[in-house]
Structure 1
Amino acid sequence: MIQKENSFGTFDQEINAFFKDAHHFACLINTCLYQGQEIVKPENLMLVDPKIQAYTRDVLMLWNGRYGSYYLGIENQLIENYPMPYHILQYDCLVYKDQMDILEKEHRKKKDLRSSEEFLSGIKASDRLIPCITIVIYYGTRPWQYHFEMKDLFDVKDMSSLIDFKMNLIEVHSDTHRYKDKELDLVFSMTKDILNANFNTIRNKYKQGIPKQVALVIASMAKDEELYQQIKEEEKEVIVMCESLDRMREKAISEGIILGRRDGLIQGKTEGIQIGRIQGESEGLQKGRIQGKEEGVLTVLKSLLKKGISDSYILEITGVSSELLMKAKQGLN
């Protein structure tokens, strides 16, 4: 099983590899920045070294197309990062600094600066930089709550004179875009359903087989270690996701029952917590709730959390409130 401390890094690698495909990347940019018009062509994209100065971008492409040359970047966020507008501004500025350093170095080598203004500037007035546009893709289960632009990080009354910077943000859990690239559309729509625990929708909608690599990307976006590992261990190269989800849910229910009984006996605080319906429509921990045995409920929730099962699965399997799940999480710290 993937170690918890390493899982986000593994998820990042899977997602980055998916977006390094020029067709996926171009479709994302066209849909989110150009209202679905096919402005960015895959053949006009070139993957470039994502390391700029001391920082490494998730994915960085150079686009030579209709409007000139642009750097286009993607940053993946599995959890909300409060200073994200600052980080994106920093990343983009480093792209510009890197270009400025190259221009200045070339002029020093050529010794072609003539006027006092050129010597002061280190470049010529005719020199141009390649602009950089970055999209942040957020895979959290909750809405992004804080800091969408730089001014959100300030605490002043008058912001009218400030030059603001707003990041381009896609929240997958509430994304309403439809993508022309079939794999990209499938990845975003299924991830959205998993993040929102729409398991009945998944069963009814996604009965077709999908490539294993695409399934791994979906599990990575959903931050689901159990599902990721299950797909990784599959020998087949075509995965039926509704079957994989059902098997994972059944395993979680089974383990929850076993762990609940064991821990309940040890603590003597629960009398047969029932993790309900095998069809996945679980009323979960019903007896525990009715009898007010919150300690026993928390015990099972903690056991499931320790197994690396995601919040959305636990909420679906057990039927508990998000507040009680948060209390169980706090009890682990």
Structure 2
Amino acid sequence: MTRRKLNMGKNNVYMKHWLSDKDRFADLINGSLYQGRQVFTAENMSVEDGEQGLVLRKTDGKEIAVQRYRDIMMKADDGTRIVVLACENQDEIHYAMPVREMLYDALSYVDQVNALRKNHRGKKDMKGWAEFLSGMKKMDLLSPVLNIVFYYGEDEWDGNLDLHGLLGLDRIDYRMLKKYVPNYRINLIDPKKLENLECFQTDLQIIFGMLKYRKNKEGMKNYVQNNRTFFAQVNQDTYNAVRAMLGSGQHLKTVNAKEGGTVNMCKALEDLYQDGVEEGIEKGLEKGIETGIIV
């Protein structure tokens, strides 16, 4: 396995741990999709198993298993509304993302139908062939699935955001199909492009603000100094997530906090900045020797 793949896997684990915090996850959705309106709260959220699967039977009788794993999956239930909330973390562009997310959502709905079928069979309350065939009653309702893609890669996302774009239905010869081919759109969140950071109420606000300087060490240094109170004591999950989101623009060193302790990110960034200064001086000396300026 290449170092790149290892880093991708490690970064995904870091981001999953960080965003799995209920307060942070609710804030991510409220701040990015609802302009800060408190639609979802941590108190009404419960963690769901991200594993989803379906067994299909082919015409020849053979069975095919389809299995997928969500990075983060929670259920929001405030007594009047139940919503399944899901998140996929991406540090690389995925050009088939609309199809991938559509499959994930379809599997979520299949799971709900199967749960209804199991419940009705236990109660033996299904009446008529339509209910037996469907596995659900006419008045049964499924819970909506709200899915987001959290993209923290370095390159600007240039993939299609919906199925119609992926199918090229804006092409002249295909426009007549657009009305009748169902569309599916992904909710892409790129923290680098978020402008109204005041919509966030957790540490997402200050962390997302920092990402604007991911390729500017001097700007990063000043931003952290201006927010020193926060960055002087971040927890391990936050530090690891910041390392993942900064990417190659800022190579923060691995720092392990003592159990229950915090990481001084100000110190880590100062060390990074100093390493850059020393590296620049060293390269300058080498260049000077090569050109004969320094003997």
Query: CA–CA distance in 1 between the matches of 2:286 and 2:258?
Result: 34
The one-letter amino acid of 2:255's match is I
Q: Is the 8 A contact 2:255 2:263 kept in 1?
A: no
Among candidates 81, 85, 88, match of residue 68 of structure 1: 81
Among candidates 179, 188, 210, match of residue 208 of structure 2: 188
Q: What is the DSSP-based 3-state SS (H/G/I as helix, E as strand, rest coil) of the residue aligned with 1:137?
A: strand
Query: CA–CA distance in 1 between the matches of 2:99 and 2:184?
Result: 9
The reply to whether residue 222 of structure 1 matches residue 240 of structure 2 is no
Matches within 5 A, 1:11-30: 11-30=11-30
Q: CA deviation at 1:230?
A: 3.2
The reply to whether residue 143 of structure 1 matches residue 143 of structure 2 is no
Q: CA RMSD in A?
A: 2.9
Query: CA–CA distance in 2 between the matches of 1:256 and 1:5?
Result: 29
Query: CA–CA distance in 2 between the matches of 1:121 and 1:217?
Result: 44
The one-letter amino acid of 1:35's match is Q
Q: Deviations over 1:155-210 (max 9, x none)?
A: 3421122221111111122221314334111222213321xx13222222212113
Query: CA–CA distance in 2 between the matches of 1:234 and 1:251?
Result: 24
Q: Which has the higher contact order (CA 8 A, sep 6+)?
A: 2
Query: CA–CA distance in 2 between the matches of 1:12 and 1:251?
Result: 27
Percent identical pairs in the alignment equals 27
Q: Is the 8 A contact 1:113 1:119 kept in 2?
A: yes
CA 1:66–1:148 in structure 2 vs 1: closer, same or farther (change >3 Å)? farther
Partner of residue 59, structure 2: none
Matches within 5 A, 1:251-266: 251=275
Q: CA deviation at 1:252?
A: 5.3
CA 1:92–1:273 in structure 2 vs 1: closer, same or farther (change >3 Å)? farther
CA 1:113–1:67 in structure 2 vs 1: closer, same or farther (change >3 Å)? closer
Matches within 5 A, 1:156-171: 156=169, 157-158=174-175, 159-171=178-190
Q: Is the 8 A contact 1:230 1:244 kept in 2?
A: no
Q: Deviations over 1:34-90 (max 9, x none)?
A: 221112121011111111122111111100127500001111110100001111111
CA 1:50–1:110 in structure 2 vs 1: closer, same or farther (change >3 Å)? same
Partner of residue 202, structure 1: 220
Q: Is the 8 A contact 2:210 2:223 kept in 1?
A: no
What TM-score, normalized by structure 2, do the two folds share? Answer: 0.78
CA 1:252–1:234 in structure 2 vs 1: closer, same or farther (change >3 Å)? farther
Query: CA–CA distance in 1 between the matches of 2:31 and 2:9?
Result: 27
CA 1:67–1:163 in structure 2 vs 1: closer, same or farther (change >3 Å)? farther
Q: CA deviation at 1:251?
A: 3.3
Q: CA deviation at 1:245?
A: 2.9
Q: What is the DSSP-based 3-state SS (H/G/I as helix, E as strand, rest coil) of the residue aligned with 1:9?
A: helix
The reply to whether residue 176 of structure 1 matches residue 195 of structure 2 is yes
What TM-score, normalized by structure 1, do the two folds share? Answer: 0.70
Query: CA–CA distance in 1 between the matches of 2:4 and 2:168?
Result: 36
Partner of residue 63, structure 2: none
Q: What is the DSSP-based 3-state SS (H/G/I as helix, E as strand, rest coil) of the residue aligned with 1:238?
A: coil
Partner of residue 272, structure 2: 248
Number of equivalent positions = 261
CA 1:190–1:67 in structure 2 vs 1: closer, same or farther (change >3 Å)? farther
